[in-house]
Chains A and B, each alone.
Chain A
Amino acid sequence: MTEACEILAAADSTAVADINIETQQAVEQFLYRQAEMLDEKRIDEWMALFGVNGWYWMPAEADQVEGDGEPNIFWEDQGLMLMRNARNTHPRAHSQAPHNRLNHVVSNVIIESENGDGDIIVRSRFHCAEYFRYQIRTFSGKYRHLLKKTPDSYRIALQRVDLVNREGPYDYVLQWWL
């Protein structure tokens, strides 16, 4: 199994950690800033939030515990993220002319655990409106982040994104991460 998936799968997804307010605030700020980077298309900064072996994962089915080797909506490491960004910003990415716009609201931030190294498992909920093709689409779902502590902040080892309408059908594709 992918190590980060294994850690998330083994952790109690209803746990509530007894955490100090500074950590709670730091983690919330991290999540808010991550969403803001997507909304403002500061993609290089967004990608840099992920560790070298970090994954952005949107499973196709609710009971999935592993991204590797399974069908997924998203399963991307930094290489595939670089490719997606290069494609979406290419002058001939027809369907990104004009670019879409995203607007996230992230809330219900509950830290599940903090280990001795300061690594965090945190769950939260999001709403996201996308303006594309002169219409608004909305997405809603749950994030679960596995964050590795760094000297000054965190790096994402795994971000799991469960859409409420995960099974689709999808009205047009998701060109950017949510």
Chain B
Amino acid sequence: MTWTTEQLAGLVEPDRAHRKAYTDPEIFDLEMERIFERTWIYIGHESQVKNPGDYYLAQVGRQPVIMVRGRDGDVNVLYNRCPHRGAQICTARRGNTGNHFYCSYHAWTFHLDGKLEGMPAKREYEGTNLDFDNPEFHMARPAQVDNYRGFWFANLSEDGPDLATHLGEAAAAFDQLIDRAPGKETEIVGECFRMVQQSNWKIFLENQLDASHPGVTHESTGKAAQQLEAKIRADGDEPPLELSFLTDFARLGHDGWTKFGTVGYRNGHSSLEGYMGLRPDDPDTNVYIRRMYEAYGEEKAEEILGINIHHMLVYPCNSVQPPLQQLRTIRPLAHDKTLTEIWHFRLKDAPETIYRRSLAYYYLVNSPSTLINADDLFNWWKCQHGLDSSASEWVSFHRKAGQDEEREGISYSAPESMSELPLRHMMHAWRDYMTADEGAKS
């Protein structure tokens, strides 16, 4: 079928969404066209490409792209496609391409900004329409490329707000990834972890700010971590702080999870307030706080450390956890398949122990052997399969529906609740993206 604007709008109601939004391959194609290829999509961080010629592959909607450091020090984003016969230029996920890109099919070469440099037997093009100055013969560039403090994004559409406007309040996630560093800089640690979810991309985003799931989904891991804590204490030692990242899942209970508010911002972004005791009164944390005071002055440092975001969803592609320096980005592959890249950042001039804490979280929660995401991924896979069933046409987002507060275009979850505000909020944004000026690009 061909979906009309009216039909697409009908898939989202104030407190529920239609299962077809998750299961229909045609809807997925429309999502790529109207969301992922029409708004700002995260490419990567500048520290991934430190030297001229360094490149990294990424994906914007269905379009493979290359992030590359130019000779002038600028970061460029180019389509990963030779304008000659269409071959992909880079196949390794990362590397250094030297002074130019080289197509392995007919040896066309390109400058690091994508401009055509040359090819063998160039004279044979004399008297033809091939023009070295015509962008048609360059490695193509997305319509818009911009960065927010070193975090690079591309937008395949000319239209819509600029990056800073698009990010709005969600920019706080990136500010926090940098500002929490006493050295006022951040950089990636090693390579990212990549996981394929056998489920729709929206199921992942909805899970990230869903406060009513962790105590249930992760109960087994929380209990196992509590056992380990008990054993360490029985042996006369003090358990490391990072185990509390896991015991929280068993300890908090439903009442505990009602303490963490959620907020819905413009353009579909949303956040969950912090819940982890990441500022304990221990020597390591105190060394870190002292360095922050020295770097920023006490007042400014307290302002930075007081920002209480556990998780920020930057719609439609990022899930950022600033207090633990983790950033996940999604690359949807099909209606039932989603690739995630999970990055860990190191705060410049923070004590090694602070890095070790976030590294432990990276391992326990985000590595390919994680016990936490083991159960998440399984739930999402089960949802994807369950939604293929027509037993009901709807997915429920009724928790505290109609009871959230809205002030100046920003919505706040009902107090003392595990409101499903972020889930409703994202689906409403989804409807707005999907139904905006239908057909403008097709």
Is there a chain A Cβ closer than 8 Å to B223's Cβ? yes
CA–CA, A150 and B228, complex, Å? 27
> Across the interface, do A90 and B220 meet the contact criterion of CB distance under 8 Å?
yes
CA–CA, A69 and B363, complex, Å? 11
> Across the interface, do A71 and B369 meet the contact criterion of CB distance under 8 Å?
no
A50-67: which residues lie under 8 A (CB-CB) from chain B? 58, 60-61
> Across the interface, do A173 and B227 meet the contact criterion of CB distance under 8 Å?
no
> Across the interface, do B371 and A84 meet the contact criterion of CB distance under 8 Å?
yes
Q: Interface SS of chain B: helix, strand, loop or mixed? A: helix
Partner of A71 from the list B193, B220, B339, B375 (CB cut-off 8 Å) is B193
Is there a chain A Cβ closer than 8 Å to B379's Cβ? yes
> Across the interface, do B194 and A60 meet the contact criterion of CB distance under 8 Å?
no
> Across the interface, do A173 and B194 meet the contact criterion of CB distance under 8 Å?
no
Is there a chain A Cβ closer than 8 Å to B115's Cβ? no
B142-199: which residues lie under 8 A (CB-CB) from chain A? 189-191, 193-196, 198
Q: Taking CB as reference atom, which chain B residue is nearest A81?
A: B228
Q: How far is the CB of B411 from chain A (nearest CB, A)?
A: 31
Is there a chain B Cβ closer than 8 Å to A105's Cβ? no
> What A residues does B190 contact at CB under 8 A?
60-61, 70-71
Q: How far is the CB of B309 from chain A (nearest CB, A)?
A: 23
Partner of A69 from the list B217, B356, B379 (CB cut-off 8 Å) is B356
Q: How far is the CB of A159 from chain B (nearest CB, A)?
A: 14
Is there a chain A Cβ closer than 8 Å to B225's Cβ? yes
Q: Mark A74-95, 1 if CB is under 8 A from B, else 0.
A: 1100011011101110111111
B322-380: which residues lie under 8 A (CB-CB) from chain A? 339, 344, 352, 355-356, 359, 362-363, 367-371, 373-375, 377-379
> Across the interface, do B363 and A71 meet the contact criterion of CB distance under 8 Å?
yes
Q: Taking CB as reference atom, which chain A residue is nearest B217?
A: A94
> What A residues does B93 contact at CB under 8 A?
167
**How many pairs, one residue from A and one from B, have CB atoms within 8 Å of each other in the complex?**
111
> Across the interface, do A71 and B359 meet the contact criterion of CB distance under 8 Å?
yes
Q: Taking CB as reference atom, which chain B residue is nearest A176?
A: B369
Known: A86-B228, A87-B221, A95-B378. A71 touches B195 (CB 8 A): no
Is there a chain A Cβ closer than 8 Å to B381's Cβ? yes
Is there a chain B Cβ closer than 8 Å to A10's Cβ? no
> Across the interface, do B193 and A94 meet the contact criterion of CB distance under 8 Å?
no
CA–CA, A24 and B248, complex, Å? 47
Is there a chain B Cβ closer than 8 Å to A31's Cβ? no
Q: Taking CB as reference atom, which chain B residue is nearest A93?
A: B220
Is there a chain A Cβ closer than 8 Å to B37's Cβ? no
> What B residues does A80 contact at CB under 8 A?
228
Is there a chain B Cβ closer than 8 Å to A72's Cβ? yes
Q: How far is the CB of A22 from chain B (nearest CB, A)?
A: 36
Residues of B within 8 A of A (CB): 93, 189-191, 193-196, 198, 217, 219-221, 223-225, 227-228, 231-232, 339, 344, 352, 355-356, 359, 362-363, 367-371, 373-375, 377-379, 381
Listed by A's residue number, 13 A-B pairs whose Cβ atoms lie within 8 Å are A60-B367, A70-B359, A71-B367, A80-B228, A82-B228, A86-B223, A86-B227, A87-B221, A88-B371, A90-B219, A95-B378, A133-B378, A175-B371
